[in-house]
A and B are shown apart, each in its own frame.
Chain A
Amino acid sequence: MSKGERGSVVGVDVGGTFTDLVMLAGDGSVRLAKVPSTLDNQAYGVLNALDQAGADLPSVALIVHGTTTTTNAVLERKLSKTGLITTKGFRDVLELGRRTRPQPYGMKGTFRPIIPRDLRLEVAERSLADGAVHVALDEGAVSDAARELLAKGCEAVVIHFLHAYANPAHERRAAEIVAAIWPNDHITLGHALLSESREYERGVTAAVNASVQPLLQRYVDRLARELAARGYAHDVLVMNGNGGMVSARIVAREAAKTVMSGPASGVMAAAYTGRRAGVPDLLTYDMGGTSTDVALIRGAEAAVSNEIEIEYAMPIHVPMVDVRTVGAGGGSIARVNAAGLLEVGPESAGADPGPICYGKGGQEPTISDANLLLGRLVPPVKSRTDADKTRAVVEAVFTEKLGKPLGLNAMQAAEAVIRIANMKMAGAIRMVSLSLGADPRDFALFAFGGAGPLHASALARELGVPRVLVPCRPGITNALGCVVADLRHDFVRTVNQPLDNLNVDEVHAIFADQIATGRALIEAEPIDLTGIRHICSVDMQFIGQTHLLRVPLDNPTPDRATLQDLFEKAYFKRFRVELDEIRVNLVNVNCSVIGERPELDLSTLIDPAGRKATLAGALMETRSVVFDGEACETPVYWRDHLPLDAVIDGPAIVTQMDTTILIEPGDRAIGDTEGNLLITVGGRNAD
């Protein structure tokens, strides 16, 4: 599309269960769709969602896509057959890992390397830590290895040499040799994604990249063909784990960057929503069926990490939105342990059979079932009779498995389950927040996901968080993230010099280079932008320390004294420790270059025409809900009918197609002009 033209913008996110779509039409209207995901080929789900939304593809200007294709492939090890060519003596690095075990206690556990041992081949070559060549590359061995891997049926190949971050010459030369033989361009070089030391982490990152590359390439090619066949005339953009998007034509080159695509887009939507709502500091809280994702947003910027581990011993070291997964989800199972104490999780009923109230054969009491018993959740069944039946089954299980051993009735047991679950989740969120150097009390909680808004007020109270932000469409936040995301490129350059001897001009030159490179990449994309900005930071540490502290900079030309001062302040803020005795190191120079897309009005996510003039107009029913052992008659409102400026005092329930929001007694929710609900904990006492 040529710049300036107005067409509709579509965000579509494929999750584990549902494929969600948000379409902002050129005329400002919004259409939503939610269809079952088609995990064998996610493209069908995407097309179904487009159909359900009634999208007219020739008039669609932009489709941005979040996908779990690569995430699922890695977690289920359904990978393309991939080979490794590596330095002689080091083929087992990918299998040995860093000498760990999955849990601190318990001597069991297994690990499957990304590339099996018979597809990991060695060639003579060696560089030293300073980049000097110690053993020349055996070029004949490289071509022999490539032929052997091809004969064994490999579709992709990784070339990963020791110290290639310091001198990539051997990897590059080997790539030329392999490319002459290899039938496709699925060749990943170890140093290419992130050029830093640590052979296991760099190797796994490259191996993941190579082994998902053909899958992602086939998937986006097919999707693009299908869309083109229906008249879509532009590039498909794909969400990256860094919260920026990239053209489908090139996304597979750095396929590993898409493994956190879905969670990252949810966090980007949160950052966007928070900024527009004037609540730029957020802890995001996405509670699903089996787990909960937590991330931190400061000043409307999502925290990014280069050291994400997507499962045990599976590090992906490229800059990605720092999303941490904590234990509990709606399906977490409650039980009474041998000490007679109530525990919630870590076992989960998952999606299948799921909680008892799903009616798919679940027999164990879960968090969702507790919410149902307490009247906070309506069971997903067709009729009132079915609902009563489900409730009776759940009540019997709670009485038998939890109530009797604890000396409580079913309702009390259900309340206890919620209380313990909230406390555990709050503790886990607090640990995530503290490990990112943030006191949760300085943030607002951004609640999304199907189950998030049900627990958010209670969690906020437990955490000492003053406010909860519930966006218009908590259940499709990831798809919204696709619509609002910017173009983004991240750069990291390792300097690793004591600040005293640092050549500050060199740092300035690195920043200038990073900014220019990012700009060039972004300007090459045919996307309507309002501007390009950059975010600069450095990673620093006291000499002798291994942890890095990221120090944000407000310009790319800091002088030495400023760097020292900013670091000391940041260090004290984080650790409450002053260490004048020790010198400082500057390790990494980081820059993100961001192409900003036009602002979108989010209030139309709920059709303004459907909103009622008064709160009473949105009332669906009143229902008995249990709080602190007391049954309260609680009003239930339909979200889409709420007046934009609604003021709702708890206890109240707001329900909508994609989630249920619980406003606890004493709390107050206020609607804003963007269509969000902002819940103030204890806000009712403000009168």
Chain B
Amino acid sequence: MPIDPITLSVIQAGLQQVCDEMDLAFSRAAFSPVIAEADDRSDGIYSAADGSLIAQGARGLPVFVGTMQYSTRTLIEMIADGRVAAPKPDDIYIVNDPYLGGTHLMDVRFARPFYRDGRIYCWLSNTGHWPDTGGAVPGGFSASATASEQEGLRLPPVRLFKEGVLDREIYSIICSNIRVADQRIGDVKAQAAALKVGEARLNDLLDRYGDDVVSEAIAELRIRAAEQMRARIADIPDGDYRGIAHIDSDGVVNEPLVIDLTVTKAAGDLTFDFARSSPPCMGPMNSVIATTYSSVYLAMRHIFPDVPISAGAFEPLHIIRPEGTFLDAHYPRPVSGCAAEVSQRIAEAVFAALVTALPDQVTAAPAGTSGNFALGGHDPARGRDFVMYQISGGGYGGNADHDGLSNGCSTIGISKAPPVEIMEQAFPVLYHRYALHEGSGGAGKHRGGFGLDYEVELLRGHAKASFVMDHGRFGPQGVLGGGDGAVNRVEVWRDGVCHVPEHLSKEQDISLLPGDRVRVRTPGGGGYGDPRQRDPALVAEDVALGRYTPEDAAAKFG
């Protein structure tokens, strides 16, 4: 007898609850603010057979939407062919190798086999962004790395916990190769504890409904999730849809990288072909295949937020592996920019391709950069070294319903930016401005949101500034007649002289002395629809509020 739809709904909600509780447990106990405050982590349940995604926490970082199923699949394959030691109950594997189903090295995955009656029923896995995993620069975002070794310590899948006990030998190797190692034990224990929480809750669910019923429900939910995605994409007429996005440069060679995507709708499914994209690059803007896949999935989830995350929902989405392009990087290509920047350009290409077919759902391009600005140096007043990170938002794209949001979070993130007051408490800096990037919203019937405009001064000691940003050369795309959002701008003022990075949005180790300043203006969102159709009263309001100058408004909106 087929499983009834009500039991299906109940088990679906139950599996979701297990994942949400893992997310909560991880964030609440984590040390690193990146996880505890910024929720740069994700937890999920993966199939025992091939690692395919069964359920994932609703508040996980969006960029992890598809990655862990690839890392779990790779782990299962490596166990099967003997490259990795076989699991025992209560083991936890650790892995951060980007080329084995990952993102960048800082995203550290834990995977725990979940046993029922002595057999692996499924895998529980989570990813947490560690503040540092070694490498050339603190934090791992080197703008000029040319090989993986410069980016940090690379861990193949090894059992960090063996039958519940932390392997102190492996752990001490890790700690000897990363910065601020003394606090990592807090994150390691939190990450492991979250999987333990998941195990307890999943056991409750299985005890209540029965292993066979839950297994059957998982299989049926997968089929139905595929149907749900197919129903959503059914509105798209058959045909080819092209979307192009540019990355300013790879940070090493100053030439744009092109993501050239053709989405084909045929026989009810979508096929994503990136084959015409740029070849692998020298600098760290390569993407590993798991991140490329995940970026497509997260873009589709932004378009259809009501379709739950599962392998079934991905089934109607066929991604042709873009071999020979920078979107399928192999060892030792550097990849630190893939999770924060390339992923957002991939999503932008998906939005650009599908906006004509789905004009009500898809928005114009959002700012789409994480805006990483790192300042590392020495603070003589406190007698110690420091590393400060400023991430920032930008404008979102206008859309069928309304203007874009200002200073929205990155497409792939959900984290808040730190307050100016907290930054000034912790680091020897003074902000002169934290303001709306005036004029940055792309013109349109519904205009783009505005970016951020900040300026910060080094007060004492010495420091080096590094930038990994994007959209410095090309503004976020307007659609359906709308104008592009303003580009990202970086200016470094040293001794009164302005320096603009040669790569516009990327540069590493610019020396600063007290009194030197950094000014960053982040991109505005793309406009949606013909600007001349914008309600004149709204144009007048934007001018009255100083968001555009009268001249700028006249030029853009007619």
Contacts and interface: CB of A to CB of B under 8 A. Distances in A.
Interface of A: 89-93, 95-101, 103-111, 116-118, 126, 128-129, 134, 162-163, 165, 197-201, 337-343, 406-407, 416, 419-420, 423-424, 427, 430-431, 434-435, 437, 542-547, 574-577, 579, 581-582
B31 A420 contact: no
Interface string B260-303: 00000000000000000000000000000000000000100110
A466 B411 CA distance: 43
Contact of A89 (B363, B407, B432): B432
Interface string B195-232: 01000000000000000000000000100110110011
A111 B232 CA distance: 28
B366 A89 contact: no
Interface in B358-395: 363, 366, 391-393
In terms of DSSP, what is the predominant structure of the interface of chain A?
A: loop
B183 A338 contact: no
A347 to B, nearest CB: 11
Contact of A104 (B8, B58, B183, B424): B58
Interface string B36-78: 1100000000000000000000110010000000000000000
Contacts of A89: 431-435, 455
Contact of A431 (B20, B193, B415): B20
Given A105-B301, A108-B401, A117-B547, A434 B9 contact: no
B399 A435 contact: no
B28 A199 contact: no
Contact of B545 (A107, A117, A128, A437): A117
B401 A197 contact: no
B183 A582 contact: yes
B417 interface: yes
Given A419-B6, A575-B190, A581-B185, 8 more contacts: A92-B436, A98-B416, A104-B59, A107-B363, A107-B397, A128-B424, A201-B419, A338-B228
Contact of B435 (A91, A107, A430): A91
A423 B7 CA distance: 11
A128 B429 CA distance: 10
A465 to B, nearest CB: 15
A338 B37 CA distance: 35
Interface residues of B, number: 86
Contact of B5 (A97, A342, A437): A342
A111 B58 CA distance: 22
A107 B402 contact: no
A236 B547 CA distance: 45
Contact of B407 (A99, A110, A545, A577): A99
A91 B436 CA distance: 9
A92 B29 contact: no
A545 B36 contact: yes
Contacts of B351: 107
Contacts of B186: 542, 544-545, 577, 579, 582
Interface stretch (B10-18, B82-90, B151-159, B532-540): B10-18
21 contacts: A89-B432, A98-B417, A99-B407, A101-B408, A118-B545, A128-B430, A197-B422, A338-B232, A339-B225, A340-B5, A406-B6, A416-B9, A420-B13, A427-B17, A435-B28, A546-B37, A575-B190, A577-B189, A577-B190, A577-B193, A579-B189
B434 A92 contact: yes
Contacts of B59: 104
Contact of B424 (A129, A342, A343, A544): A129
Contacts of A338: 227-228, 231-232
A342 B6 contact: yes
A107 B13 contact: no
Contact of A96 (B10, B221, B422, B436): B436
B126 to A, nearest CB: 15
A423 B29 contact: no
Given A340-B5, A435-B24, A575 B193 contact: yes
B550 to A, nearest CB: 14
A110 B407 CA distance: 11
A118 B546 contact: yes
B500 interface: no
B409 interface: yes
Given A90-B433, A419-B6, A109 B405 contact: yes
B31 A545 contact: yes
B409 A423 contact: no
A110 B403 contact: yes
A405 to B, nearest CB: 9
Nearest to B366: A107
- Give me the 4 closest cross-chain CB pairs, A-B, nearest first: A99-B393, A338-B231, A339-B228, A339-B224
Given A105-B62, A110-B403, A341-B224, A198 B422 contact: yes
Given A105-B302, A544-B183, A199 B224 contact: no
A96 B452 contact: yes
Contact of B408 (A100, A116, A198, A575): A100
Nearest to B422: A197
Contacts of A92: 434-436
Contacts of B29: 575, 577
A54 to B, nearest CB: 49
Contacts of B130: none
Given A93-B434, A435-B28, A162 B37 contact: no
A427 B13 contact: yes
Contact of B227 (A340, A430, A545, A577): A340
A100 B409 contact: yes
Nearest to A93: B434
Nearest to A571: B29
B182 interface: yes
Given A420-B13, A427-B13, A341 B8 contact: yes
A420 B9 contact: yes
Given A105-B301, A117-B547, A423-B13, A110 B405 contact: yes
A134 B405 contact: no
A332 to B, nearest CB: 14
B10 A419 contact: yes
A90 B424 contact: no
A92 B431 CA distance: 14
B170 interface: no
B407 A97 contact: yes
A81 B397 CA distance: 30
B544 interface: yes
B403 A101 contact: no
B174 interface: no
B406 interface: yes
A110 B433 contact: no
B420 interface: yes
B326 interface: no
A559 B182 CA distance: 27
Nearest to B407: A96
A578 to B, nearest CB: 8
B21 interface: yes
Nearest to A165: B421
A64 B31 CA distance: 44
Interface in B449-478: 452, 455
A635 to B, nearest CB: 28
B24 A99 contact: no
A116 B419 contact: no
B62 A129 contact: no
A117 B306 CA distance: 34
Contacts of B176: none
A162 B306 contact: no
A111 to B, nearest CB: 6
Contact of B436 (A95, A165, A424, A431): A95
B288 to A, nearest CB: 23
A420 B7 CA distance: 9
Nearest to A90: B434
B351 to A, nearest CB: 8
A197 B407 contact: no
B120 interface: no
A582 B185 contact: yes
B314 interface: no
Nearest to A542: B186
